[in-house]
Amino acid sequence: CFSPDTLDPALFQPRRLDRRVEFSLPDNEGRAHILRIHARSMSIERDIRFDLIAHPCPNTTGAELRSVATEAGMFAICARRKVASERDFLNTVEKVVRQGTKFSLFLNTPSPREVTELLGSYASSPHRPLNLSALLSFGRPLTPDSVLASVAYALEEIPRRLSTLVQLLEVLPFIVGTNPYVASTLAAHRESFMWLATYPMPKTLEENAKCAETLEDLVEKHANDIPTLTKGFQECSKYMTSSQMSEFLDGAIRSCILVRLIAEQHISLSRAIQCSKPPNVGVVNTQCSPAEMVRMCGSFFSELCEVTLGLSPIVTIEGDREATFIYVPVHLEYILTEILKNAFRATVEHHNNKNKGSGLLLPVLITLSAPPRLPGSSSNYFLIHVWDQGGGVTPANVLQIFSYAFTTAG
């Protein structure tokens, strides 16, 4: 059963269709019944009001309502819940309505051949190197022309990087590609790629504002891609070696970080053009303070550690506390978060095992150091050394510490 506007006109030529039976679109009760049928194979909460969910879905057919049920299931998976709730179904409908189409980003769904050709075209073109200088160039100075140059860069570079990731997902072993987590990630990336690759280039700030708004939706849509992919690879661990999984996830994470960085930089610039004195150049902070970032992350983990483990080490900062450099704060925050999380936990656990819970915890020492300024040199690094006394890494675990499937927690 298909909606007439989704059928190829060639099918209506003589002798192409043996029988053609037309049905009217289902009413609200019919849509609710269709949703119930598609939800039978899902793990859902009891007493979901499908009549309420069906109400904001006028002019829809069974195939489109099935998409609603499927997307609701993905909402639950991304939230790491075993069952889909009524709110998951409503969020799916709200998201679709906000995007301005029925249940797809495309009014006319492109054929598989068109998608493949477009993917190949973008994947074969070389990526332009991405660095902080390139991101800063669109905001120095920040003008309407620079914002339009930024959106042109985003609509050119993001599809290239998405196309590479899509092709990597498509060549995975068949059994891995059929995993629900991997398959849903591939479908989402293909749809986002097609939307960006076919989006008309904005010529005014008003058109750019609409583009930036939808970019925000896409960033939110892909926020859980890496956890979702990781879950899929964990379920398929017996079909790929640890090195194969690590190699793929390394590339996928790198691609996702770059795509998100380009998108969020343009979104931030689009907002900043409305401010008289924006504090940063997009998401890039030209005066990023590592000492402040360490204090912020250390304070958070001190409270978290005391709540979960009963006590917490203090953080001692040494070295160049006044140093600043150009960086993306959220990236530094993520790095420090992961390192301090391990340092705090190891310190507390090692202390409890060694001293039976008595005595004071040794501090986590962080040294900030700029490179020596030598004549004729142009050093472009800054050293943040995190030193704890948590017992170190055992020889048996050294070779596994960078594996996505390995953890010492629990």
pLDDT, one tens digit per residue, over 382-407 is 899 999 988 888 888 888 777 776 77
Residue 355, domain member (yes or no): yes
pTM: 0.67
* pLDDT band for position 104 (cuts 50, 70, 90): very low
Domain shared by 117 and 140, yes or no: yes
Domain shared by 137 and 263, yes or no: yes
Domain shared by 75 and 134, yes or no: no
Per DSSP, 222 falls in state T
Residue 296, domain member (yes or no): no
Distances (CA, A) of 51 to 13, 234, 282: 38, 37, 44
**With contact defined as beta carbons under 8 Å apart, do 3 and 24 qualify?**
no
Is the pLDDT reported for residue 188 higher than 80?
yes
Residue 106, domain member (yes or no): no
H-only helix segments in 356-410: none
Q: How far apart are CA 373 and CA 402, in angstroms?
A: 33
Domain shared by 168 and 210, yes or no: yes
pLDDT of residue 360: 76
Per the listing, tokens 């993306």 go with 328
pLDDT in tens, 196-250: 888 889 999 999 998 998 898 888 888 888 888 888 888 888 888 888 888 888 8
Residue 190, domain member (yes or no): yes
Domain shared by 90 and 127, yes or no: no
Domain shared by 119 and 255, yes or no: yes
Residue 26, domain member (yes or no): yes
Domain shared by 127 and 215, yes or no: yes
pLDDT in tens, 115-172: 788 888 888 887 777 888 888 888 878 889 999 999 999 999 999 999 989 988 988 9
* pLDDT band for position 107 (cuts 50, 70, 90): very low
Domain with 248, as residue range(s), is 112-272
What is the widest separation between alpha-carbon atoms in the chain? 89
**With contact defined as beta carbons under 8 Å apart, do 288 and 326 qualify?**
yes
Residue 55, domain member (yes or no): yes
Q: What is the domain-level CATH number for residue 237?
A: 1.20.140.20
**With contact defined as beta carbons under 8 Å apart, do 311 and 361 qualify?**
yes
Q: How far apart are CA 227 and CA 182, in angstroms?
A: 11
Report the phi/psi class of residue 392: left, alpha or beta, with left for phi > 0 and alpha for psi in -120 to 50: left
User: How many folded domains does the chain comprise?
Assistant: 3
**With contact defined as beta carbons under 8 Å apart, do 265 and 150 qualify?**
yes
Per DSSP, 375 falls in state T
pLDDT of residue 409: 65
Domain shared by 139 and 91, yes or no: no
Q: What is the domain-level CATH number for residue 39?
A: 1.10.8.60
Residue 77, domain member (yes or no): yes
- Of 272, 292, 317, at which residue does a domain stop? 272
38 vs 404: which has the higher pLDDT: 38
Nearest to 130 by CA among 111, 108, 150: 150
- Of 37, 67, 98, at which residue does a domain stop? 98
Domain shared by 117 and 197, yes or no: yes
Domain shared by 243 and 119, yes or no: yes
Q: What is the domain-level CATH number for residue 342?
A: 3.30.565.10
Q: In percent, how much of the chain has pLDDT > 70?
A: 84
Residue 277, domain member (yes or no): no
Domain shared by 116 and 241, yes or no: yes
- Of 98, 128, 149, at which residue does a domain stop? 98
pLDDT of residue 390: 86
Domain shared by 70 and 201, yes or no: no
* pLDDT band for position 109 (cuts 50, 70, 90): low
Nearest to 281 by CA among 137, 394, 124: 137
* pLDDT band for position 290 (cuts 50, 70, 90): very high
- Listed as own residue / partner, the contacts of 257-262 with beta carbons closer than 8 Å and 24 or more positions apart are 257/331, 258/130, 258/161, 259/158, 259/161, 259/162, 259/222, 260/219, 260/222, 261/130, 261/135, 261/328, 262/130, 262/135, 262/153, 262/154, 262/157, 262/158, 262/161
Per DSSP, 275 falls in state S
Query: Which are the contacts of 10, defined by CB distance < 8 A and separation ≥ 6?
Result: 16
Distances (CA, A) of 124 to 120, 192, 247: 6, 18, 21
In the sheet where 383-387 sits, what is the strand order? 315-319, 364-369, 383-387
181 vs 6: which has the higher pLDDT: 181
